[in-house]
Amino acid sequence: MQTVTDAAALRAAIRGWRTAGQTVGFVPTMGNLHAGHHSLLKLARARADRVVASVFVNPTQFGPGEDFERYPRTLAQDQAGLAEAGCDILFAPDVATMYPFGPASSVSIHVPVITDTLEGAHRPGHFDGVATVVAKLFSLVQPDLAVFGQKDFQQLKVIERMVRDLSLPVKVMSAPTLREADGLAMSSRNQYLSAQERSRAPLIHATLLQMRELFQQGHARQPLEAAARSRLERGGFVPDYVAIRRVEDLAEPGADEREGLVALVAARLGSTRLIDNLPFD
């Protein structure tokens, strides 16, 4: 695996692949990689001749008081895992490469409506940062396909909408959420949990499973959301949202809508904010 840090070297390598008629898959990450990220690489590897992964902790998607400075940077460890997962090139740019005029003076992309709810409501500007950096990375890598995990469900939907709206020639693929044996969704933030918090954390997935089961039994949406929130609060969580939404656009479903839905949770456990989701179909 080759590691490059500048745009010219990245484009030169990809130009060689294109000349040989090879397709390119892409997996953008913020590093501190785990088995969930590696599963994205394997999916890209199965669908493309060559695979590029990026590691870049993007400052524009972190709000005031969030964990940008303490977000773990583990490049050497990431390089080893990516090589084992079949990555051809790791693109590891610095901030100046991605934001030549500085993050505050960068062109910014806003995807309307779908970013106004859930994560977008609790983290203003977050998805502008996500959309902007993904668009920049797509411009640099020019992949045929890009793979994103379903754990960040709203992020996936935002990127799908951006790609369609801007007519970008990239196929966006999703990969299932990988979980620990007790159901906790794999996340770089799990390492912030204390031992006691880690033992409580699987309650999020258990609550999502219960929501899906009860909904499929015919229970109404809003009482289910309220009951799930109460269950998490009793377990020591401080929920930002517990919601059942439409998969397509994350809008609130009508009273008669029973298909094409997903439950989503964001909650703090101690100082760590965890998110998860579960499609109902």
The yes-or-no answer on residue 37 being catalytic is: yes
Question: 41 is written with which tokens?
Answer: 């690489």
Which is catalytic among the residues 37, 38, 126, 205?
Answer: 37
Chain centre distance of CA 219: 30
Q: Are 259 and 233 in contact (CB under 8 A)?
A: no
Question: Among residues 155, 120, 3, 132, which one has the least CA distance to residue 58?
Answer: 132
Residues serving a catalytic function are 37
